[in-house]
Structure 1
Amino acid sequence: MIGLTGAVLMVGLTGGIGSGKSAMAARLAELGAVVIDADQVAREVVAPGSAGLAEIVATFSERVLDAHGALDRAALGAIVFGDAAARRRLEAITHPRVRARTAELVAAAPPHAIVVNDVPLLVEVGLAPTYHLVVVVQAALATRFARLTRKRGMDRAEAERRIAAQADDARRRAAADVVLSNDGDLTELYAAVDALWRDRLVPYEENLRARRAVRPDPVVLAEPDPDWPQQYARLAARIRHALAPAEPRIDHVGSTAVPGLAARDVIDIQLSVASLEEADGPLAERLADAGFPRLPGQWWDNPRPAGSGWWEKRLHGSADPGRPVHLHLRVAGSPGWRYALVTRDHLRADPDQRAAYLQLKRELVGAAPDSATYGTLKHPWFDEEHLRAEEWAGRTGWQP
Structure 2
Amino acid sequence: MIRLTGPVLMVGLTGGIGSGKSAVSARLAERGAVVIDADRIAREVVAPGSAGLAEIVAAFGDRVLDADGALDRAALGAVVFGDEVARRRLEAITHPRVRARTAELAAAAPSDAVVVNDVPLLVEVGLAPTYHLVVVVQTAVATRLERLERDRGMPRAEAERRIAAQADDARRRAAADVVLSNDGALDELHAAVDALWRDRLLPYERNVRAGRAARPERVLLTEPDPTWPQQYARLAARIRHAVAPADLRVDHIGSTAVPGLAAKDVIDIQVTVSSLDEADGPLAERLARAGFPRLPGDWWDSPRPAGSGRWAKRFHGSADPGRPAYLHLRVADSPGWRYALLMRDHLRADPDQRAAYLLLKRELAASAPDSGAYATAKDPWFDEEHLRAEEWAAQTGWRP
Q: Aligning the two structures, in what range does the TM-score lie when normalised by the shorter sequence?
A: over 0.9
Moved more, 296-305 or 257-266: 296-305
Match of 2:257 in 1: 257
Work out the CA distance in 1 between the residues paired with 2:207 and 2:13. Answer: 20
Superposition deviation, residue 367 in structure 1: 1.6
Contact 1:254-1:344 within 8 A present in 2 as well? yes
Superposition deviation, residue 74 in structure 1: 1.3
Inter-CA distance 307–224: structure 2 relative to 1 (3 Å threshold): closer
What is the correspondence of 1:80-95 to structure 2 with a 5 Å cutoff? 80-95=80-95
Match of 2:162 in 1: 162
Indicate whether 1:329 and 2:332 are aligned.
no
Indicate whether 1:131 and 2:131 are aligned.
yes
Superposition deviation, residue 3 in structure 1: 4.8
Superposition deviation, residue 155 in structure 1: 2.2
Task: Name the aligned partner's letter for residue 308 of structure 1.
Answer: G
Match of 1:174 in 2: 174
Match of 1:215 in 2: 215
Task: Name the aligned partner's letter for residue 378 of structure 1.
Answer: K
Match of 2:371 in 1: 371
Inter-CA distance 175–91: structure 2 relative to 1 (3 Å threshold): same
Indicate whether 1:63 and 2:63 are aligned.
yes
Contact 2:4-2:130 within 8 A present in 1 as well? no
Work out the CA distance in 2 between the residues paired with 1:223 and 1:142. Answer: 34
Superposition deviation, residue 307 in structure 1: 7.1
Inter-CA distance 339–128: structure 2 relative to 1 (3 Å threshold): same
Superposition deviation, residue 295 in structure 1: 1.1
Moved more, 67-76 or 197-206: 67-76
Match of 1:338 in 2: 338
Superposition deviation, residue 141 in structure 1: 1.4
Contact 1:293-1:316 within 8 A present in 2 as well? yes
Match of 2:309 in 1: 308
Q: Scaled by the length of structure 2, what TM-score is found?
A: 0.98
SS at 2:263's partner residue? coil
Contact 2:303-2:309 within 8 A present in 1 as well? no
- CA-based RMSD: 1.1
Contact 1:2-1:132 within 8 A present in 2 as well? no
Superposition deviation, residue 6 in structure 1: 1.3
Q: Deviations over 1:84-115 (max 9, x none)?
A: 11111111111100000000000111121000
Superposition deviation, residue 79 in structure 1: 1.3
Q: Scaled by the length of structure 1, what TM-score is found?
A: 0.98
Match of 1:206 in 2: 206
Superposition deviation, residue 276 in structure 1: 0.5
Work out the CA distance in 2 between the residues paired with 1:93 and 1:53. Answer: 9
Contact 1:135-1:180 within 8 A present in 2 as well? yes
Contact 2:2-2:99 within 8 A present in 1 as well? no
Contact 2:106-2:115 within 8 A present in 1 as well? yes
- Structure 2 alignment gaps of length 5 or more: none
Indicate whether 1:121 and 2:121 are aligned.
yes
Match of 2:236 in 1: 236
Segments ≥4 residues shifted beyond 4 Å? 304-307
The number of residue pairs the alignment matches comes to 399
Superposition deviation, residue 59 in structure 1: 1.0
Match of 1:354 in 2: 354
Superposition deviation, residue 120 in structure 1: 0.4
What is the correspondence of 1:145-156 to structure 2 with a 5 Å cutoff? 145-156=145-156
Work out the CA distance in 2 between the residues paired with 1:192 and 1:83. Answer: 40
Match of 2:245 in 1: 245
SS at 2:120's partner residue? coil
Q: Deviations over 1:169-204 (max 9, x none)?
A: 000000000001011111111000000000000000
Task: Name the aligned partner's letter for residue 259 of structure 2.
Answer: P
Indicate whether 1:102 and 2:129 are aligned.
no
